[in-house]
Amino acid sequence: GRVTPRNGYENFSDESVSFEINRFDGNELKKRFDEVAKEVSLSLFLNGVEIAKLHILPTEFEFLAIGFLFTERLIDLPTDVRKLSFNPNSFSIEVETFQQNPLPSLTEVVRSVTSGCGRGLSFISPAFAAGFPPLFSKKILRAAQIVSLTQKLQTVSDVFKKTGCVHSASLAISGEMAHVSEDIGRHNAVDKAIGWAFRNIWPLPEGAILLSTGRVSTEIVIKAHRGGICFIVSHSAPTYAAVQLADSLGITVIGFARGNRFNVYTHQERVAL
């Protein structure tokens, strides 16, 4: 039969939709209502040129757009942004800048950033990023602080509690979680968190921590480096390529941060009891 929202209609601003499903409980199939995260396609325009379609959770459009443009080196400073506008009819966001950075090589077909857990869209290759200058920091993270922050990140996501279908990302500043962003894609969640900081707390102070529930890939390392973030802490694992890149870029990668445990993969000298 047709999939129909519980209330008969779908709100534009809803993060999730409830509808009737069949659930097998080990003995029989029972009808019940279940909450599922929404996924929408957002067209991103920079100075009149569509550069990407982002498949996202419909939240924090401004932060996502700004974070994506900044981490892809298409804008450099908060003052670069002249105007930002969202069009709910075409589901698009337009960013105008005072100066136009050269656009990356785009195919005739606009690149589409899927919500999947594979490689997200990036105009910056890991090989190119390996030539970036490394970050230096004398900040030390304490084990108890890492445990506390990761446990808090696991509990603050309302959408995850309802759907089990989103990633969370946050920036911890001066030891405190400043803002939490959610998305169906881990890259998008990180871009939203960095975009929030770009609009509210910039530049980031030394010792800022990028917290994530998603796998740490090279793209995540590149985004952290762009923000001058020396610490990445994730509930999940890093890839070996990400570990190699983070090591060369001066970034401490901490993975499998679950319960009272975590693994430190790079720059172990920055983590102490």
Question: pTM value?
Answer: 0.89
pLDDT on residue 109: 42
Q: Is 254 helix (H, G, I), strand (E, B) or coil?
A: strand
What are the chain's domains? 141-272 (3.40.140.10)
Contact assessment for residue 204 and residue 196, using Cβ atoms and an 8 Å cutoff: no
Per residue of the chain (273 residues), give pLDDT as tens: 566 666 654 565 688 889 899 999 999 999 999 999 999 999 999 999 999 999 999 999 999 999 999 999 999 999 999 999 999 999 999 999 998 766 665 544 455 554 444 445 667 878 888 889 999 999 999 999 999 999 999 888 788 888 888 999 999 999 899 999 999 999 999 999 999 999 999 999 999 999 999 999 999 999 999 999 999 999 999 999 999 999 999 999 999 999 999 999 999 999 999
Q: Which residues are catalytic?
A: 117
- What's the pLDDT at 70? 96
Strand order from edge to edge, sheet including 176-183: 176-183, 167-173, 209-212, 231-234, 252-258, 261-264
248 in helix, strand or coil? helix
Six-digit token string for 109: 């077909």
d(CA 52, CA 106): 9
- Give the per-residue pLDDT at 176: 93
Specify the pLDDT at position 54: 92
Q: What is the pLDDT of residue 108?
A: 42
Provide the pLDDT for residue 115. Answer: 46
Phi, psi torsion values for 226, nearest 5 degrees: -60, -35
257: closest CA among 232, 239, 240?
A: 232
Task: Report pLDDT for 113.
Answer: 53
